[in-house]
Amino acid sequence: MSKWIDVCHIDDLQPDSGVCALVEGRQIAIFYLPRLNAVYAIGNFDPFSEANVLSRGMVGDLGGQLMLASPMYKQHFNLQTGICFEDAAISVPAYPARIDNDRVAIRMSE
Amino acid sequence: MNTKQTLVVIGNGMVGQHFLTKLVESAAKDHFHIVTFCEEPRAAYDRVHLSEYFTGKSAEDLSLVSADFFAEHGIEIHLGDKAATIDRQQKQVTSAKGVVIRYDKLVLATGSYPFVPPVPGHERAQCLVYRTIEDLEAIKAAAENSKIGTVVGGGLLGLEAAKALTDLGLETHVVEFAPRLMAVQLDDGGGAMLRHKIQALGVKVHLNKNTSLIDDGEQCLHKMNFADGEVLETDLILFSAGIRPRDDIARACGLEIGPRGGIVIDNQCKTSDPHIYAIGECALWNGQIFGLVAPGYTMARTVAADLSGTEASFTGADMSTKLKLMGVDVASIGDAHARTQGAMVYTYQNGSREIYKRLVVSQDKKQLLGAVLVGEASGYSTLLQYCLNGIELPENPDALILPQRSDESVGLGPDALPASAQICSCHDVSKGQICGAIEAGCTTIGQLKSATKAASGCGGCAPLLKSVLDCELIKLGVEVSTDICEHFPHTRQDLYNLIMVEQIKTFDDLLDKHGRGLGCEVCKQAVGSILASYWNDYILEKPHIGLQDTNDTYLANMQKDGTYSVVPRVTGGEITPDGLIALGQVAKKYGLYTKITGGQRVDLFGARVEQLPLIWNELIEAGFESGHAYGKSLRTVKSCVGSTWCRFGIDDSVGLAIELENRYKGLRAPHKIKFAVSGCTRECAEAQGKDIGVIATENGWNLYVCGNGGMKPRHADLFATNLDKATLIKYIDRVLIFYVRTAARLQRTSVWMENMEGGLDYLKAVILEDRLGLADELEQQMQHVIDTYQCEWKTTLQDEQKLKRFRHFVNSDQADDNVVFVEERGQVRPANVEERKHFKLIEEAA
Ligand code: SRM
Ligand SMILES: Cc1cc2nc3c(=O)[nH]c(=O)nc-3n(C[C@H](O)[C@H](O)[C@H](O)COP(=O)(O)OP(=O)(O)OC[C@H]3O[C@@H](n4cnc5c(N)ncnc54)[C@H](O)[C@@H]3O)c2cc1C
Ligand code: SF4
Ligand code: FES
């Protein structure tokens, strides 16, 4: 089963950029794209550098897919699936995320 | 009889059985008493044709062993009993049922198991795998009360399983993680054609899907939730997401295991223990697992020969495959992905007949390296012959896949750098390899990165890689795009002009007027830098936040473990004893590693995000400001000691260095800018290796421009001589702003100069003679930057809203527990992977 977990207020987010949240012991990078009025959530751990830094990367799109560029070695990850653009065998977890009544929530499995 | 040695074989699958058959035919037969453990309830059967179990074959039909085989050869078989442990000291195997056998030689033929991704919910009822007869029985039973079936995994086995599900009458879906089907064997084009054909047969294919959760469905038993938010309801799930070698008992007894699993073997199939062999899918040879039966059989023969004292070795195997998947011909030969150095590719695609063919040939076009055939595989055998026997290809290799011959050929011009030149030192990639990948179809840095790994380490070779790419593409007749990225059909210089002429103040505005999509880290950083150079706003203003790379966002330099380094400005390298003490106190208080940099200042490493504002605050109180070590901006102005102390000094190099650094600090540019000032021609400050270098003479200052240290050192050019200070500064103002306006993204002044039409003479004409009539404008723009300078640390500290960002978690005060330090030479440093594991264990134990 899964559930929506309230994480923070929308003002805690950074426009076109990321923050990291601690949700049930997991580090989750949350990105806010005002142009799409949407939030996206993926794991904060960068599998390439093995550091918790993905929330500090830059967001945008590549070839029509939403992406996050790791701040460390610049690999790109799909914001919706967590799959790495450069190596499809590598991915980070991706979580459904939403803005509801100015609150940001993440859906996690139990 | 008791002189016989005991040979134990663990696993009676296809390869284990083949080994027994070969052994009893060999000379070794009389030397061994043979014992085999067979975990499954029946002896070996034909797994390759397992699917035929659904189309009417029985377990007996599939059996590979005649009823009396074991009795006839005196082989002791323990059916339905699993070998549980191996004791290598005592040389004995103990089974799950408690049987203990001492061995002289041991053969591991434990095969592999289907990998089930650890998706929450994977253990639910009717979530199955496809490997044994028992698995198939379970699938059959589940299918009876199911309407929809889903296979997770679009590889060879997954598609075979999908066929089985359609045969069982289910609406069938295939969910694949990768962007194409049969990712191992096929290239993108082949995968796309296969998908098209399979979908036409009614199977629904979902690519790029990462299952994040399986829970209760509404219409069906399960609901699969994908990471992209989509869902799929299904009654039955078959995991076919690859195989993993069964190396657990080998691992437990300390045999060498590959980093990603598999029992390591040599050419004789011996493991790290000379008494133990491993064969089949559990064995790892030369870093490779062979998921096909033929290589396993070769290994089995090798061991049988070795045990009979005959020379034999396993030296790899051909993994070519041809099969009919749901009626679609698919074949993959050799190096289908063109990974061989220098490989060239020919592709033929016939949309109306739904045929896709690709040939991979050696650089000299003489050898066939690989092929992919989808929709029509009649040429398979011929091509396989060319490939395996190294038969020389006809003059136009594409004739082999084309319905008609074509005369086109790809030509290559001479290279400036030799092919052996190393471009990427992290991954040891030569120019030859890069050219090979370009020929194989790479046209972007991204593709080259995936194909060759170049520039995927430290990234330092990226500019060089780009220039090789551009040069090769031009040679290949491909038009080289100078667009900054896919979001703007413009160069950096164009963007600069657009921003200047239209007085654009934000990235969003520029994107709306001149771009498309959302932008990426390339255009965002470039535009962020242009806006900062031109308007000189505080870079963390709301519209600019997303344009900054992490270093600029946190006004510090990210280190390998996610902590930051802090570099306060030490103008000209001059620092008071009190300043030094203050730095030492701050470092001590926050436990920072300190180092003198190559830029004549002090770097404080290991600060956590949440410590940055505290550290800045103390530094600012001690009279320091940001050193902009994080920005593409002015870094340092190095100085030598100069006339104040040095017995040879001609002028006050320290004084001038401080003045220049204070003047240009904060100036953002296409890349970083470094200066140095030397007090005499002995040049102790190395000014001729800097973007801007100044050397004192008897008659004033000599100005040098466009030098570079770093990866490709360049001596600066002497630009103007015997200048008084006012003129010197005027010229530097002009050169810098002209550089800011006209350079490409991440172009140092050295490369800018070298690519400039007219070169040094032109630059002199623009700056010294004001050929373009721009001089005043350039000076005014510099004055604006100087007048609007701010210490970004200070600005940030004054803004509560901005400070919110400086904590690791938005919803907790905890720190990142992945940051761990150890001590070395009296200071901290990041723990390495091994050390971190160790700490974790201690923590868990506590
Ligand atoms: C700290 C320091 C090394 C040291 O301990 O001495 C250093 C450290 C870094 N250098 Fe450097 N460079 C440092 C002096 C130099 C020098 C020497 C100098 O400035 O006199 C050079 C050669 C001179 C030159 O630049 O022409 C130098 C040539 C480079 C280059 C190659 C530039 C080139 O044009 O080829 C890079 C890579 C780049 O910028 O793309 C680089 C990049 C880097 C980066 C930013 C790499 C990164 O992205 O993390 C390092 C981060 C610094 C940090 O975390 O604080 N660093 N680096 C030096 C800081 C000086 C300072 O006080 O600001
Ligand atoms: C559906 C399907 C289709 C396939 N199609 C093809 C094909 O077309 N072409 C092709 O080349 N290959 C194909 N393969 C792969 C092929 O079946 C394998 O390569 C081959 O079976 C490997 O043989 P093996 O002996 O190494 O492993 P297995 O046949 O898996 O045998 C290993 C045996 O060891 C047993 N075992 C494991 N651990 C222990 C223990 N501790 N004690 C006792 N017993 C143990 C296992 O239970 C198993 O019975 C297919 C596989 C499947 C599942
Ligand atoms: S460059 Fe000249 S003035 Fe400066 S330290 Fe060397 S010798 Fe002395
Ligand atoms: S030199 Fe190429 S990535 Fe480091």
Complex ipTM over 0.85: no
Total structural domains within chain A: 1
| Residues in B touching A73 (Cβ below 8 Å) | 456-459
Residue in B382, B373, B368 with CA at minimum distance from that of residue B322: B373
Whether B389 has a pLDDT exceeding 80, the answer reads no
- Nearest ligand to the CA of B424 is 4
With a cut of 70, which residues of chain A have pLDDT below it? 1, 110
pLDDT top residue among B490 and B430:
B490
Is residue A106 situated within a structural domain? no
Is the CATH number 3.30.465.10 carried by domain B116-241?
A: no
φ/ψ of A32, rounded to 5, equals -115, 120
CA of B242 to the centre of ligand 2 (A): 13
Q: Do B648 and B601 meet the contact criterion of CB atoms below 8 Å apart? A: no
Cβ within 8 Å of B, A 70-99: 71-76, 78, 80-83, 85-89, 91, 93-96
Q: How far apart are CA B633 and CA B731, in angstroms?
A: 18
Mean pLDDT of B85-97: 96
pTM over 0.80: no
Find the domain containing A77 and state its range.
3-101
Q: Which phi-psi region, left, alpha or beta, contains residue B517 (left: φ > 0; alpha: ψ -120 to 50)?
A: left
pLDDT for residue B413 is more than 60: no
* A56 touches B at CB < 8 Å: yes
Q: Which ligand is nearest to the CA of B185?
A: 2
**Per-residue pLDDT at B390 exceeds 80:** no
- What CATH number did the domain enclosing A8 receive? 2.102.10.10
**CATH homologous superfamily for B5-113+245-307?**
FAD/NAD(P)-binding domain (3.50.50.60)
Q: In what order do the strands lie in the sheet with B211-216?
A: B211-216, B222-226, B231-234
pLDDT digits (tens, 9 = 90+) for B287-298: 999 988 888 988
Specify if A108 maps to a domain: no
Contact B550 A57 (CB under 8 A): yes
Render B104-159 in DSSP notation, one character per residue.
SEEEE---EEE-----TTTTSTTEEE-SSHHHHHHHHHHHHT-SEEEEE--SHHHH
Q: Give the tens place of pLDDT for each residue, B3-17.
A: 799 999 999 999 999
Query: For B752-764, what is the mean pLDDT?
Result: 90
Where are the domains positioned within chain B? 5-113+245-307, 116-241, 492-548, 632-786
Residue A110 lies in a domain: no
Per residue in B129-174, pLDDT (tens digit) is: 999 999 999 999 999 999 999 999 998 889 989 989 998 999 999 9
- Considering CB atoms only, which of B216, B549, B833 is closest to A71? B549
The pLDDT score that the predictor gives to residue A93 is 96
Please identify, by atom number, the ligand 2 atom nearest to the C-alpha of residue B81.
Answer: 43
In a domain, A107, yes or no: no
**According to the model, what pLDDT value does residue B391 have?**
76
CA distance B164 to B792: 64
B479-492 average pLDDT score: 86
B412, pLDDT greater than 60: no
Q: What is the CATH number of domain B632-786?
A: 3.30.413.10
Answer yes or no: is A22 within a domain. Answer: yes
R_g over Cα of chain A: 13
Q: Residue B625: CA atoms inside 13 Å, Cβ hemisphere, count?
A: 12
Q: Which helix (H) or strand (E) holds B581?
A: helix B577-590
Per-residue pLDDT tens digits for B650-673: 999 999 999 999 999 999 999 999
What is d(CA B214, CA B226) in angstroms, rounded to the nearest whole number?
9
Would the CATH topology of B116-241 be identical to that of B632-786? Answer: no
Give yes or no for residue B407 having a pLDDT over 50.
no
Residue B409 has pLDDT above 60, yes or no: no
